[in-house]
Amino acid sequence: MKEAIGGTWIFGLVITFLALFTTFVSVSTNYSRVYKIKDEVLLAIERNHGINEQTLTTINSYLRGLGYSAQGECPDSKTDACWNAFTITGANSNKRVASYGENINYCIRKHSVTKKYKDGDAIQTNGPIGHPESAYYEVAVFFRIDWPILNRFFNIKITGETSTVFLLNDSIPNLKNCD
């Protein structure tokens, strides 16, 4: 009888260890996947020189192709109104910019490096001299754990920044710009 009880304890320990190891591997794999998603969003912004229709089409088709469905709230959205919320929409839909309360899939914030004044002259505030139109962008994507109860508590934001983008080609109306 002693050996039967001992075998049960060892079996329970092995099952617990396997469950913990599997959980760790799945969470770390998905977490690294979200970092790759963040990097691809940043690259799309840099390649297209800002946020325009081609940038959003590239980002949304990439995210839909991966099956990315994590949703969240933009960082500091209650205190800082500079974040632009975006949603992944259907292939035929033109609505890209989300309003708060909708399904937000990623957020982008623009930081202008130079400021333009009414007379058209650009005054350098910081950054390289000779490039009047430059900015950098901050991106936030979301990591979600798809477990029934824990998904409410573990909605993690992963943020990153582009390098300085010159000769901006921003053409999406109603985007918020914060200096």
Instruction: Give residue-wise pLDDT tens across range 22-62.
Output: 888 888 888 888 899 999 999 999 898 888 888 888 998 89
Is the Cβ–Cβ distance between 80 and 103 less than 8 Å? Answer: no
Longest dimension (CA), the chain: 92
Cα dist. 70→37, 113, 116, 130, 170 in Å?
11, 31, 37, 40, 26
- pLDDT in the model for residue 126: 45
What is the residue extent of each domain of the chain?
Answer: 2-166
Tell me, what's the pLDDT at 93? 45
Question: For position 91, what pLDDT does the model report?
Answer: 45
| Residues lower than pLDDT 70 in the chain | 1-5, 77-80, 90-102, 114-132, 148-153, 173-174, 177, 179
Distances (CA, A) of 134 to 57, 153, 158, 167: 22, 38, 24, 6
